[in-house]
Amino acid sequence: MEKFDSLKPQDEVSVTIWGPEDSCLYQSTNTGYTTVEEAVRIALANAGLTISPELCVFEVTNTNTQVSHKYRYNADGNLVLIPQED
């Protein structure tokens, strides 16, 4: 079983940055990523946000497989998976 964090460069990956009150701040779809953290870091660099990344939720979707997860930065600056609600 392959971890979602491991992406293949040919995978088409969509990153949506959600801000406070579920406002969509930025969305991009690209290829060439090898990790989720890399995809989020590049999306953040391109978004030019004026708010702290710790206030955002990052929805990352591998559009080839339709697997999607949400992440956020913790107080230590690490990107962490947000547990899915049942």
The residue extents of the domains of the chain are 13-81
User: Which pLDDT score, from 0 to 100, does residue 15 have?
Assistant: 98
User: Which pLDDT score, from 0 to 100, does residue 4 have?
Assistant: 56
| Three-state secondary structure string covering 20-82 | HHHCEEEEEEECCCCEHHHHHHHHHHHHCCCCCHHHCEEEEEECCCCEEEEEEECCCCCEEEC
User: Which pLDDT score, from 0 to 100, does residue 1 have?
Assistant: 34
pLDDT tens, residue by residue, 64-84: 999 999 999 999 999 999 988
- Global pTM? 0.90
Q: Are strands 24-30 and 13-18 parallel, antiparallel or unpaired?
A: antiparallel
pLDDT tens, residue by residue, 2-40: 445 679 999 999 999 999 989 999 999 999 999 999 999
